[in-house]
Structure 1
């Protein structure tokens, strides 16, 4: 008897579905997910919409927002994964790489992906340049998320490939130094050095020096905000655009969204404190704008900003507050709150619906802003 690809795919879908609806089989799913490969969840999201909605469970509504049902289904699957021990940094880093493999999707084929080194604050840093088949003169210098402790070029590889392809720009992803090996403000200084190096070498990449943007998600969004501020203060070349995706902006204050979404939505309160304590073991540095850019005294003169926040993110309120503060300082700000999404959604791009819509909106903005001679 022959078995078609369609039969195999259907079987995987039914297996995942049965595991989700039968709690007694949770242990089997945990074992399977412990050794996941790229695209492991693709069959799940090929199920009919009605089936996915049923598997996701009753709608989750908090603070006037309704969680995207496909993202809710992913959270249910993630809940069956073993938790990363927060006492072991190496295991936490490996855990994030595993989660990213679950939802990475098929890697985009580009014209070229090149490993290289860039200037850091104290020596060279690893980096990866993504060049799409058709590119304008724009370049995005990107800093990955992960609380300044986890994350690397590989965890955000699929996202950077897709963004370069969809926006039609080059993307330079920078592997800045992580805590606790390199506490604050090392990552910030690395980011500033890497961005200015990229502007200096833009022509070497086929990009225009005046069309170099800076961006990042979560902790990377924090670094991108710091770069934009410090370029003004240190009289360095300004980014054409600062892209702050659900950024962490204040390591001192606390806002209501931290309590509303303290558990169950990818980034938890325990995670936030763990990352903060590793990145800033000296509490005295937390109020420095190099660490908490929301606490800067003067926001005038900063480059245009594209800021996204997520409705189910404990960092939502500080992102909203920073967008408002930038606008009050006369900065050109586009602020998009993706009300149905959670923290970390850029790495969930292969999911249908709201996560894909957020990715498309970001790619469109980069394409519009960084259009220039190829």
Structure 2
């Protein structure tokens, strides 16, 4: 029987951790809840950091998951500005960076991921930025503006969102990508070409197939990015967006199973029954694709927060969800459902020149993933088809004059 009076400690106050704390109370947990966050502010939405925050359209209060008083009002002890440094599974103790030791009955690891660093000369210069936190976004906002030159290292979704926001703020923007095309690891070539063309129309320039070998500066401040071909790209600031790695060290040191993240089951439970892991740090099952995978997305954080909260409070497990994510750039909304695992055919629906189209990734006659630009029906119906694994007519799917409802039927 689940102990609704157990002390639950949540390490990590991002979207996953903050949601888990709120859901535990919503689901009837009466025991003590301690939420530990490394940042000085309560849990907030992170996707707008590269968009609304940079453009001055949102601040910490607007993006907060819950008002600060929510935590005290609901008996959630929120500890800000501290991190976990050591986990002792017996006798269930978590040591914090300020020396405090928390005893827990149940522990939820929601430690997220951190930006990868470039191990090159000049990587310690001022003006080299990343975008994971509100403080990062504030530093970037102060660094860009009319007349400023911004270099973005990494042509993934975050890099492109930063580029779009930088242009909106009047900065000159150059995106430097090691691969020969944008989004090479996460999107098909049609989508890469579309985004490159759209960004170029908005004044962004690109250096593709370009490896960064270092950074140069004056008086400790970055002034340029050096490339493998010997050129230097001048800049006043540079954003490094070359991926992230999970913050799973505290779990690994405590002997929990890890594999590019903390290994969990469909309850978000780790190899220790008293410990859960959720969000960006979790290496989780994906039943649709019959594999394990680590996902970095808000929908995944919310789903796993539900899984853990249900398991802890004894509620039935939530229904499995199709993974999805989104990216906003200029007036474009990209919505992605599923992952392009084991794909043997890529099908284009609509005309990219219209700014409204979708790319479907299929395995046989089943949809594995859909990437939809300004096309909500294709996204929503595609997501449904990924979840129910129904075969589709490729001829109907490729014909934009056939409604997605007919495709599903």
TM norm structure 2? 0.25
Greater CA radius of gyration, 1 or 2?
A: 2
Q: Structure with the greater relative contact order (CA < 8 A, sep ≥ 6): 1 or 2?
A: 1
Which has a greater percent of helix?
1
